[in-house]
Amino acid sequence: MEWKGVISAITTPFKADYSVDHAFLAEHARWQVENGVDGIVALGSLGEAATLSFDEKVSILKTLANALGSKPLVAGIASLSTHEAVSLARAAQEAGCAGLMVLPPYVYSTDWREMKAHVSAVISATKLTCMLYNNPPAYKTDFVAPQIAELAAEHPNLRAVKESSGDARRVTAIRALCGDRLAVFAGLDDMILEGAHAGAVGWIAGLVNALPRETMALFRHAMRGDAGKADPLYRWFLPLLRMDVLPKFVQYIKLAQQEVGKGSERVRGPRLLLDGAEREEALKAIRAGLASRPAT
């Protein structure tokens, strides 16, 4: 696969009994592709991967691989242990994934030597092209530009980085060391314009689960450097895009999906549905955005 464009960090839908809703998962993925997204990444933070069993993860990948046809499917690879992460990477290859998004381990975060060993084991477990996921606020491990360059030098199949530190200067730093060797993706919804200006060539997007047309339009304008079209669309979108960086981002994005008729707000524990004033404020922002939805 070619690492560029908008790849949706797809949510995981659940039925009333909290089992995975595979029928809607396939429908949702196809709908996003029909509205322009370039690929799907499953089993990420937004996909509630930490609440899924190993077998559920593999079943989700198989469902999406069948639904997407020629569009690339990327598997998020995260686990408590290196052994399980390597096993999931190999299962993802067998399921038909085109690439892997490699995360640091859950819970345990320590020094570069150990974190390098973990992600190196996953990257080298298959010949699939890989993206390194850097999200220090969520996973406590921070892969800085020199470390990323070191990994790229040792692993030919490491081809991309999802940069979710929230600091667009990281995009500049990675490109300064790696040039075009690695494709840098904006990993937070509210940094796409800043990331594109710094040299990002792709976006792992969240609100695309509810608003794919607007997401694709914003990305196109950003890539072309068309501030006249990008800036007003970004201003309209920002109250919703900022939901992607809140602690309860899964609940917010699933609520937005529900409001546009593309899914349910249902989440697995320990998450709970938004409630009270928090939910009312979220609905107010979502409905205000939808009421003023611009033409794209």
Rg over alpha carbons for the chain, rounded to the nearest Å, is 18
Task: Please list, in sequence order, all residues whose beta carbon lies within 8 angstroms of the beta carbon of residue 9, skipping any fewer than 6 positions away.
Answer: 41, 44, 45, 46, 47, 204, 205, 206, 208, 209
Which residue out of 57, 62, 133, 262 is catalytically annotated?
133
What residues contact 167, with CB distance under 8 A and at least 6 apart?
A: none
Please provide residue 216's backbone torsions phi and psi, each rounded to the nearest 5 degrees: -65, -40
Based on the residue annotation, tell me whether 133 is a catalytic residue of this protein: yes
What is the 3 state secondary structure string of 129-180?
A: EEEEEECHHHHCCCCCHHHHHHHHHHCCCEEEEEECCCCCHHHHHHHHHHHH
Report the alpha-carbon distance of residue 204 to residue 192 in Å, rounded. 9
Local structure of residue 105 (DSSP, 8 states): P
Give CA angle at 193 (213, 191), nearest 5°.
Answer: 95
- Which entry of 57, 62, 71, 162 is annotated as an active-site residue? 162
- One-letter amino acid for residue 161 of the chain: V
Residue 162 annotated to the active site: yes
Instruction: Judge contact between 84 and 55, C-beta under 8 A.
Output: no
- CA–CA separation, 120 and 109 (whole Å): 15
SS3 content of the chain, % helix, strand, coil (to 5): 55, 15, 35
Question: Residue 253: enclosing H or E segment and its boundaries?
Answer: helix 249-259
Helix (H, G, I), strand (E, B) or coil at 6: strand
Residues tagged active-site: 133, 162
